Amino acid sequence: MKILLLCNKSPWPPLEGGPIAMNAMAEGLTAAGHTVKILAINSNKYSVDVQKIPQEYRDKTGIETVYLDLSVKPFPALKCMLKNRSYHVERFISADYENTLTRILKNEKFDIIQFETLFTTPYIPQIRKLSDARLVLRAHNIEHLIWQRMAEGCYNPLKRYYLHHLAKTLRQYELSTLHKLNGIVAITGSDADWFRKKAGAVPVTAIPFGINPGKLEAAPQTSAENPVADLFHLGSMNWQPNIEGIRWLVQKVWPDMHRQHPDLKLHLAGRAMPEWLTNLKMPGLVVDGEVEDAGKYMQEHGIMVVPLFSGSGIRIKIIEGMMASKAIITTPVGAEGIEYTEGKNIIIARNGEELIKAVKNLLENPGLARKIGAEARKLVADKHNNRHLMEKLTDFYTSLF
């Protein structure tokens, strides 16, 4: 099949969750024998030097990018608020993107046009005029649920009101879009259940994030000699749920944890570290910022901590951490979409006390950390093999005709 992927970020380089998931999709589809074309948004939030995209990748995907300024602007945000429209979605509407998409659709014929995230779907009316391809939404998240959860956890009344407004308008747009599609590919089973309830007769399937079979078949990298040498978090800090979780970790949990374990260090890595965090001086806290090689960084550190209280979909970095045989402590929200067994291949901490207790247990039992890491890798190999997932996706595409 010939497939056009419309991406809200460039899949290359795959440096954070969304691009990693989109790159795995593009790589998996081409490996399965499909012809793939990518049209991606290049923005100030995820800026890509197009000239540095490898030629081999360009040849394989025909990738094109269109620049959008996704900065939050008060006047357009207020205008959307007054008109009861989703500002999240409106920011992604661009004449340049529409013109590029029109040119592509006039020159090429596609079997499937896949929207990577909800934010590329405003172009559905235009696509329907120019193409008879089947339109598929790959839902990385239930988008409005992220903001709904953030609103519920916000204590500032004005900010909570606005977050509820963002969640409400995004939900309205999300629900209004579903019936315009030919199919929906959710990234988790629980998300798929929600879409089935809301999308009427539109077919829905669940296909999680996949790992390249070559990486799964290779022997796991040797972890740090001491699997509990320290704690680390790795995640992009321009994503609000990560900011929310790390703020809670360093302000509410780390002081007590460090008092109990004064030699323990907490390393924080990821893109777009906020100034308040880089300037924060706390005993044992090390802000490493953006790292060149996420896999190497994981192997250099011990216990992976992923505190999340909002969000939806599946956490790509957790899957990568499991593949790296790391012992991971996360929240119930962080583990959503992963077919885990609590205590066997991941540890769930529902509050600060449980997180401190889990860290203490692993520090005292490094053998347990190794065992959990080994079981985590087995889970990924069983449930996240991209070759098998692309076979399932191909079957789903075929069913739409």
- Whether the CB-CB separation of 192 and 186 falls below 8 Å is answered with yes
pTM of the model: 0.87
- Whether the per-residue pLDDT at 8 is higher than 90: the answer is yes
Q: Are residues 391 and 375 in the same domain?
A: no
pLDDT at 17: 87
Q: Which helix (H) or strand (E) holds 395?
A: helix 386-399
225, exposed or middle or buried, with CB in 10 Å at 0-12, 13-18, 19+? exposed
Beta carbons within 10 angstroms of residue 228's beta carbon: 21
Structural domain boundaries enclosing 73: 2-210+385-399
pLDDT-derived band at 227, boundaries 50, 70, 90: confident
Residue with tokens 């790795």: 234
Q: Are residues 81 and 34 in the same domain?
A: yes
Q: Are residues 7 and 147 in the same domain?
A: yes
Q: Are residues 198 and 336 in the same domain?
A: no
Beta carbons within 10 angstroms of residue 167's beta carbon: 22
Q: What is the mean pLDDT of residues 9-21?
A: 92
Q: What is the mean pLDDT of residues 239-254?
A: 94
- Whether the CB-CB separation of 36 and 6 falls below 8 Å is answered with no
- Percent of the chain residues past pLDDT 90, beyond the cut: 86
Q: Are residues 232 and 293 in the same domain?
A: yes
Q: Are residues 163 and 306 in the same domain?
A: no
pLDDT at 219: 57
Q: Are residues 36 and 164 in the same domain?
A: yes
∠ CA 248-278-264, rounded to 5° = 65
Beta carbons within 10 angstroms of residue 151's beta carbon: 19
- Whether the per-residue pLDDT at 215 is higher than 80: the answer is no
How do residues 50-66 score in pLDDT, each as one tens digit? 999 999 999 999 999 99
- Whether the per-residue pLDDT at 185 is higher than 70: the answer is yes
Average pLDDT, the chain: 94
How many domains does the chain contain in total?
Answer: 2
Beta carbons within 10 angstroms of residue 116's beta carbon: 27
CATH no. for residue 118?
Answer: 3.40.50.2000
Residues in the chain: 401
pLDDT-derived band at 259, boundaries 50, 70, 90: very high
pLDDT-derived band at 371, boundaries 50, 70, 90: very high
pLDDT-derived band at 127, boundaries 50, 70, 90: very high
As given in the structure block, the two tokens for residue 194 are 């929600």
The 3-state DSSP composition of the chain as helix, strand, coil percent (nearest 5) reads 50, 15, 35
CA dihedral 238, 242, 247, 248 (to 10 degrees): 170
How do residues 298-342 score in pLDDT, each as one tens digit? 989 999 999 999 877 889 999 999 999 999 999 999 999 899 999
How do residues 77-97 score in pLDDT, each as one tens digit? 999 999 999 999 999 999 999
Q: Residue type for 39, please? A: L
Q: Are residues 145 and 160 in the same domain?
A: yes
Q: What is the mean pLDDT of residues 210-230?
A: 72
d(CA 246, CA 111): 42
Q: Residue type for 234, please? A: L
Q: Are residues 141 and 259 in the same domain?
A: no
Q: What is the mean pLDDT of residues 66-71?
A: 95
Q: Which residues, in sequence order, are bridge partners of residue 114?
A: 5, 136
- Whether the per-residue pLDDT at 41 is higher than 90: the answer is yes
- Whether the per-residue pLDDT at 221 is higher than 80: the answer is no
- Whether the CB-CB separation of 271 and 306 falls below 8 Å is answered with no
Q: Are residues 161 and 244 in the same domain?
A: no
- Whether the per-residue pLDDT at 223 is higher than 70: the answer is no
Q: Are residues 370 and 394 in the same domain?
A: no
The string of DSSP codes covering 129-156 is HH--PEEEEEESS-HHHHHHHHHHT---
pLDDT at 333: 93
Q: Are residues 379 and 391 in the same domain?
A: no
pLDDT at 278: 93
- Whether the CB-CB separation of 105 and 369 falls below 8 Å is answered with no
pLDDT at 155: 86
